[in-house]
Structures are given as structure tokens and as C-alpha cells.
Structure 1
Amino acid sequence: MSSEKFNVLSFRGKMKVLHLSWMAFFITFVVWFNAAPLMSVIADSIGLTTAQIKTLLILNVALTIPARVIIGMVTDKYGPRLTYSALLAICSIPCFMFAVADSFEQLAIARFLLGFIGAGFVIGIRIVSEWFPAKELGTAEGIYGGWGNFGSAAAAFTLPTVALLFGGEEGWRYAIGITGLMSLSFAFIYYFNVTDTPKGSTYFKPKKAGGLEVTSKGDLLLLIIMKVPMYATLGLLAWKLSPSGVDMLTHDMALAIYASLIAIFCFDLYQTYEVNKHIFVKEVPEFERYEFKQVAVLNVLYFTTFGSELAVVSMLPLFFAETFSLGMAQAGMVASSYAFMNLMSRPGGGWLSDKYGRKVTLLILTAGLALGYFSVAQIDGSWSLPLAIIVVMACSFFVQGGEGAVFAAVPLIKRRLTGQIAGMTGAYGNVGAVFFLTVFSMVSTQTFFYVIAVSAVFGFITLLFMNEPKGHMAEVNEDGEVTLISVS
């Protein structure tokens, strides 16, 4: 860990790594959500139906579910520096594909592939945890996540104006293309300016590749149970695209996807068993154990917090446009108020966790989140626009503060597995997004917000089973040397 003072205005040592990492994350979010504020003009340009627009919103978050799990494994094995740089460069390609698409099918394929860039978040969680001590980790992870998440607000605020500057029906293509250039350029900047750990520190890697390690039989069962919703959500997406939904896939194609998901799930179970079969032969030493229920609780909370943020960010510009009769640029700016809170809320949630404890902070923020969405559900055309904006921003404080508090706890579970744990927890955010956006496509907007509020109540209940991280976690390097890392 770097021992220098925490100074957010500094651009040296650990602070340089933090700033470059949130910038990388910021760019991934700009690229990931570059279409949402331009959707109405894209729809006019290509001739999209309302059902096709909603399908694109769902596709945008679908691939991120497996991507975050995969990227978590890659990060733990190869390090954040190489993984982040490669992700930024590779994902610029589908961004350019979207910019030149001229049919719904081409837009859909590019949007689906762009979901992979949403996995970038996981990478930064690991590198920040390598550079900052436990007493600063919540604040540092909050700054990384919050300032990076602001990319969606920046996209909503700036891209409609950029599109208008280029003029005509094709202006949106230039706006999308510019975000792709940003991603490609920053890949090189990141690679040549960060290191995975401070000088002299050990980068702990998983003992086995191919699956998440657990340390007891009960934890293995819980891990398997927690995998089911991720595959079920991808099945839900396939159903949504089948003839029973928007009829983008044929019946046979949908069946092939279902069969593939079952096969992949079975292979995943086999890999998980192979990584963890030693626990049936010999107990894991007490000092090396961790409780997987900690991961499960954080998964559920991120389902509600980040899952709802992704869903709401995707639909909010259209919601404000229709509810208050606003133009594209106006609606995008107003809707950005929700994501704008990320600048303060997510770091605030991390700071509160550092100061008052992980569990109590999450309990308070989750309760506020439930009340916040219940209030947003009451917004209609009879409200004044300023009051609606205030209520939305108040709700977003608890949503994003909760996200910051979740990832203040994630790196304190098991250091060498941080990428994979962050990947699974992050994937649950996308499981929530697909679930909530599917609900949004089937019910009224008011019911949509009520469903999110109910999920927050469920998250509050699961939190009662979480233990406050205390003491130290033990890691063993390749030479068998044990290192104790403080978690409190």
C-alpha cells in the first residue's frame, strides 16, 4: 500500500492511479450510454419502433452480466493495467459499428457487443484496493465509482449538443464516433501510466483459474444458488427477443439460446467444482477462510442499487420528455441530474462506510433508497419540473451512496479474489438492470418504480445477515509466505 497522504488534488503515486482509473471508468460509461440521450433522433433516422428502442436499452446491459464475471477473472490473473487497456481498445470497435449502422439489426448487434465495456468497472475496484489502505478504501473506491459513473450524465448532457453541432439527421453518428475515439486513445494513456501495485508490493493471484474459490461446502452451495439468477436473466432476455416478445429472434433461435445457456451453466458448475473440490477432501485452514454470504448479500444490494441506476438512466430522458413535454436536449440535461449525483453520492457512501462502518451505512442508505423510489413513483405531469428534479436527485443520493458503500466492503472480503468478487457483484447490478428494464417494457412507469422500491426492502432484510468486516484477512503468496492485510 502507498503511505502518502490522501489528497484528491494530487496527481502523484496512488492518487495518480486513482485519477487515471476513474477517468478510464468515466470513458467506459460515456461509451456504454452514448445512445440513451440520442435515442429519439436515432429512432427518427433509422425508423425504429418503440418496442425496438426498448429492446436496444435491454441489449445494452445484457452482455455485461457474463462480461463482468469474465473480466473479474482476467483482472485477477493478468492484472488491471493490461486488462483495462485492452478493454478500452477492443470495445471501441463495436462503438464505431454502432455509429455507422443503418438498420435495427446492425444497431442491435453493436449495442449487444458494447455491453462488454460495462465490465470496466470491475478492473478499477481491484487496482484501487491494491493502492489504498482499508481506512481510505471506501472513499477511494467511492471516488473511482462515482466520478466514473458520472460518464453517463456527461453523455446525456453533452452528446445531444455535439450531435446538433454536426447538424442534420446524421449528427448522432459523429457524436457516437467521437466517444469511440476517446476509448481507443485512453487505452494507450492508461497502459503507459499505471502499475498494478505500488513498488515492492505483491500482487496476489487466485490459486486456481476457471471459477471463484470458496472455503466451505455450505459456501459452495450458496455460490451455485447465486449463479442461477445470472443465467435466468440471460434467458429472460432471449424470451424478450423471441416471438413472444419483440419478435427479433425466431422460435428456433430462442430455443437454441436456451439450450446454450443450460449447457454453459452446466460447464460453469463443473469448473466451479473443479476449483473447489479440495474442500471435500480437506478443510481450508481457518486463517484462509472467508464467508461467501458476505458476497451474496452485496450481490443482492447491488442488484437494487446499480441495477436500478442503469435502468433509470436508460429510461429517464424519455420519461422527462413525455411527462413534461421537453425536447431531446432539454430532457437529456434534466435527466442527467440523476447521474450527476454520482460525483458526491458514491464517494459519500464510501466515506460514511470508512467512518461509521460498512453494515450500518448500508442499512440506512438502503432504507432511504426504498423511500426514494416510492416518492419518484408519484411524479406526473401535475408536478412542477423543479420539484420533480429535486425528488429524483434525492433518490439518486441513496442509490449511488449505496453503491459506494457496497464496494467499500467488496475489497475487504478476500484480496486475491477481489476481481472475481467484484465481477460477480457487478454482474448482479446488470442482472437488476435487465430485470428492471424488462419490467419497464411490460408495466406502467409508476409500477416500474414501485418494483424497484420493493426490491430495496428485500435488500434491507438480507443485510441483517451480513457481518461487519473486522480484523485481518490472510493471503498466501506463491512462496507460501502468509501476509495479513487489515480490513478495519
Structure 2
Amino acid sequence: MTTEKFNIFKFTGKMKILHLSWMAFFISFLVWFNFAPLLQAVKETLGLTTDQVKTLLILNVALTIPARVIIGMLTDKYGPRLVYSALLAICSIPCFMFAFADSFVQAAIARFLLGFIGAGFVIGIRMVSEWFPHNELGTAEGIYGGWGNFGSAAAAFTLPTVAVLFGGEDGWRYAIGLTGVISLVFAFVYYANVTNTPKGSTYFKPKNLGAMEVTSKGDFFLLLLMKVPMYAAIALLAWKLSPSGVDILSQTIVNSIYVGLFVLYLLEVYKVWQVNKEIFSKEVPELHRYNFKQVAVLDILYFTNFGSELAVVSMLPLFFAETFSLDPVLAGLVAGAYAFMNLMSRPAGGWISDKFGRKSTLMILTAGLAAGYALMGLVDGTWPLWLAVVIAMGCSFFVQSGEGAVFAVVPLIKRRMTGQIAGMTGAYGNVGAVTFLTVLSFVDYSTFFYVIAATALVGLFTLIFMDEPRGQIAEIAEDGTVHMIDVS
């Protein structure tokens, strides 16, 4: 860790790492969400049907769930500097593929592969945790997440204008291609300007790359249980593409996907057993234990807060348009207030967590989230528009501050596994989005908001079982020496 003062306006030392990392995250989201603002132009140029457009939107997020887990493991093993740079460079390729696509099949393959860049978030979580002490970590992770997450809003604000500036029916191709160029160039900028740790610090790596380590028999089975929703979410996406959903894939192909997911889960069970089988024959020393229940609680909380954010951002313009009879442009601007809160809310959640305690902050913010969505469920056309917007922004504060507070805890559980823990927690956010959007396809807007509020109450209950990070955690360097890391 470095001892320099936290100064957001500096661009040296740890602050340089923070700024370059949120920029990398910003670019990854700019690329990941470059399709939605240009959707209509892409639809017309490629002659796509509405069902095909829906399929592209689904494919855009399908790979992100497993990708966040995989990228988290690679980050812990090879370091965030290499992995972030490689991700930005490699994912520019499917971005260019999409820009040059001239058929639905080509566009579908490109969007599916671009789901991988959505995993970039977890890399910076590990990088920032290496450079900032525990008392600044929540604030730093909040800035990284909040400012980087704004890349999706930046895509919505700027890419349509860029497409118009290039002009013609292919303007969208140049706009999307430009995001690929930015990603490719910044990959080299990032690699040349960051290091995994401050000079003299040790980068702790996991013992195994194949699966997450646990330190007790109970945690072994809890880990396997917590893996199930991630496979279920991918199965749900497959169902959406089946004849029962948008009818893009045949039932035979969808059934094959179900079988494949079941086989992959069994393979993961085997890998988890291989990595952790020693805990069934001998106990892990107390010094090196950690409670996986901490990870499970954070997964459930992120399922609710980030999952609801992704889902609500997708439907809020339509909600305001239909509820208050607004034209699409005005509805989009009004709904944008929800996403805009990310710039300050997520850093605020991390800062509050640093100052007033991790567990108490999460409990207050999760309770506020539940209340916020319950209020949104009451909104109808008889309400003043300004009041509905205020409630949406207030709800957004609790949602995004909660995200910042969750990732203020993630790096304090087990340093060498921060990437894996962040990957699993981040994946649960995508699982939540898939779940909530599926719920929305069956119910009205009020019920949708009430379901999220009820899920938040479940998260609030699980928080009872979370332990406030205290004291120190132990890590073993490659030479066998034990290092103690402060977490409070």
C-alpha cells in the first residue's frame, strides 16, 4: 500500500492507477453498450426483425455471467495489468466484427463475444485493492465503479451524434468501430502505465486456477449451491430464445444447451472437489480460514442492487412514456436521471462504508433500496411527474450506493482471491438482471418494482449472517512467508 494522501485531482502514484482503471472500465462499458443507442439504424441497415433485435440484446449479456467468473480467476493468477490490457485489445476484434457485419448471423456472433468485455469490471476491483489501504478502499472502489459504469450512459449520449457526424446509412458502423479503436489503443496505454502493486509490495496469487478455494466442509457445499443460480440464469436466457420465448432457436438446440449446462455444472463440481478435497481430511489452520458466507451474502445483495439497476435502466424510459404519456425523447431524458446518479452515488456508498462501518452501511442502504422500489411500485399517471422523477433518483441513490458498499467489502475477505470473489459477485448482478427482466415480461410495472423490493428484504435478512471485517487477514507469499493485511 502507498501512504500518499487521497487526492482525486492528482494523477500520480495510487491516484494514477485509480484514474487509469476507471477509464479502462469506462471504455469496456462504452464498447459493451454501444449497440442500444444505435439499435434502430442497425435494424434498418441489416434488415432485422424485432425478434432478431431482441435476440442481439439477449446475446449481448449472455456470456458476461461466466466471463466474470473466468476473468476473475485469470486476474488473480496473472495480474490485472496484463488481463485488463488483453481484454480491451482482444474484445476490440468482435467490436470491429459487429461494425462490419452484413447479416444477422455475423451480428449475433459478434454481440455474443462482446459479452466478454462486460467482465472488465472485476479486474479493476483487484487492481484498486492492491493500491489503497482499508480506510480508503470503499471510496476508491466506489469511484472506480461509479465513474467507469458511466460508460454505458456515455454511449447513449454520444454515439448517435457520432453516427450522424459520419453521416449516411453506415454512420452507425463508424461510431461502433470508433469504440473498438478506443478500446484497442487504451489497452496499450494501460499496460504501459500501471503495475499490479506499489513498489515493494507482494502480489498474492491463489493456489489453484481451476476453482475457488474454501476453508471448511460447510463452505464447500455452500459454494456449490451458490453456483446453481448462475447456470439457471443462462438456462433462462436459452429459454427466452426457444419457441416458448422469441422463437429464434429450435427446442432441440435449447434442450442441448440445457444438457450442456448440466454437464458443465458437474464438471465444475469436480473442479471444486479437486481444489478443496484436503479440507475433508484435515482442518485448515484458523489463521488461514475465511467464511464463504461473506461471499454468499454479497452475491445476494449484488443480485438485488446491480441486477435491478441493469433491469430498471432497460425499462424505465418505456415506464415513463406509458405512465405519463411522454414522447420517447423526453421519456429517455427523464429516465436518464436514474443512471446519471452513478457518478456520485456509488463513490458515496464506498465512502460511507469507509467512515461508518461495512455491515451497518449495507443494512441502511439495502433497507432504503427496498423502500425506494416499494414507492416506485405506487407511482401511476395521477402522480406529478416531478415527484416520480425524485423518487426514481432517490431509489437510484440507494441502489448504486449499495453497489459501492458491496465492493467496499469484497477486497477485505481474502486478498489473493479478490478477483474470483469479485467475479462471482459481479456475475450475480447479471443473474439478477436476467431474473428481473424475465419477471417483467410476465407482470405489470408495479408488480415488477414490488418483486425487487421483496428481493431486497431477503438480502436484508441475509445481512444478519454477515460478519463485519475486522483486524487482519493472512496471506502466504510464494516463498512461504506469512503476511498480515489490515482490513479495519
Q: Report whether the alignment pairs 1:107 with 2:107.
A: yes
Distance 2:320 2:45 in 1: 21
Q: CA separation of 1:367/1:52 partners in 2, compared to 1, >3 Å: closer, same or farther?
A: farther
**Alpha-carbon deviation of 1:174?**
2.4
CA deviations over 1:415-469 (Å, ceiling 9, x no partner): 0010001111111011111112222233333332222222111111111111111
The 5 Å alignment of 1:84-163 reads: 84-163=84-163
Q: Report whether the alignment pairs 1:342 with 2:342.
A: yes
**Alpha-carbon deviation of 1:176?**
1.8
Q: CA separation of 1:292/1:480 partners in 2, compared to 1, >3 Å: closer, same or farther?
A: same
Q: Which residue is 2:250 aligned to? A: 250
The one-letter amino acid of 1:243's match is: P
TM-score normalised by length of structure 2 = 0.96
Distance 1:463 1:121 in 2: 24
Distance 1:40 1:253 in 2: 29
User: Secondary structure at 1:367's aligned position in 2?
Assistant: helix
The one-letter amino acid of 1:271's match is: K
Query: Which range moved further: 302-311 or 443-452?
Result: 443-452
Q: Report whether the alignment pairs 1:81 with 2:81.
A: yes
The one-letter amino acid of 1:418's match is: T
State the identity as a percent: 73
User: Secondary structure at 1:232's aligned position in 2?
Assistant: helix
Distance 1:62 1:37 in 2: 19
The one-letter amino acid of 1:347's match is: P
Q: Which residue is 1:217 aligned to? A: 217
Is the contact between residue 88 and residue 183 of structure 1 (CA under 8 Å) also seen in structure 2?
A: yes
Query: Which range moved further: 28-37 or 420-429?
Result: 28-37
Q: Which residue is 1:175 aligned to? A: 175
Structure 1: segments with no counterpart, 5+ residues: none
TM-score normalised by length of structure 1 = 0.96
**Alpha-carbon deviation of 1:340?**
1.1
Aligned length: 488
The one-letter amino acid of 1:79's match is: G
User: Secondary structure at 1:4's aligned position in 2?
Assistant: coil
Query: Which range moved further: 56-65 or 35-44?
Result: 35-44
The 5 Å alignment of 1:428-443 reads: 428-443=428-443
Distance 1:164 1:450 in 2: 40
CA deviations over 1:155-182 (Å, ceiling 9, x no partner): 2222222233334444332222221111
The 5 Å alignment of 1:366-381 reads: 366-381=366-381
**Alpha-carbon deviation of 1:326?**
5.5
**Alpha-carbon deviation of 1:105?**
3.5
Q: Which residue is 1:228 aligned to? A: 228
Q: Which residue is 1:351 aligned to? A: 351
Q: CA separation of 1:156/1:322 partners in 2, compared to 1, >3 Å: closer, same or farther?
A: farther
Is the contact between residue 302 and residue 406 of structure 1 (CA under 8 Å) also seen in structure 2?
A: yes
Q: CA separation of 1:94/1:333 partners in 2, compared to 1, >3 Å: closer, same or farther?
A: farther
Distance 1:446 1:167 in 2: 41
Is the contact between residue 61 and residue 115 of structure 2 (CA under 8 Å) also seen in structure 1?
A: yes
Q: CA separation of 1:69/1:428 partners in 2, compared to 1, >3 Å: closer, same or farther?
A: same
User: Secondary structure at 2:4's aligned position in 1?
Assistant: coil
Q: Which residue is 2:35 aligned to? A: 35
Q: Which residue is 2:166 aligned to? A: 166
Distance 1:177 1:323 in 2: 36
Is the contact between residue 55 and residue 248 of structure 2 (CA under 8 Å) also seen in structure 1?
A: no
Q: Report whether the alignment pairs 1:299 with 2:299.
A: yes
Q: Which residue is 1:415 aligned to? A: 415
Structure 2: segments with no counterpart, 5+ residues: none
Query: Which range moved further: 79-88 or 246-255?
Result: 246-255
**Alpha-carbon deviation of 1:383?**
4.5
User: Secondary structure at 1:388's aligned position in 2?
Assistant: helix
CA deviations over 1:305-351 (Å, ceiling 9, x no partner): 11111222233344445555656655444333222111110010000
CA deviations over 1:335-382 (Å, ceiling 9, x no partner): 332221111100100001001111111111111111222223344455
The one-letter amino acid of 1:4's match is: E
CA RMSD of aligned residues (A): 1.8
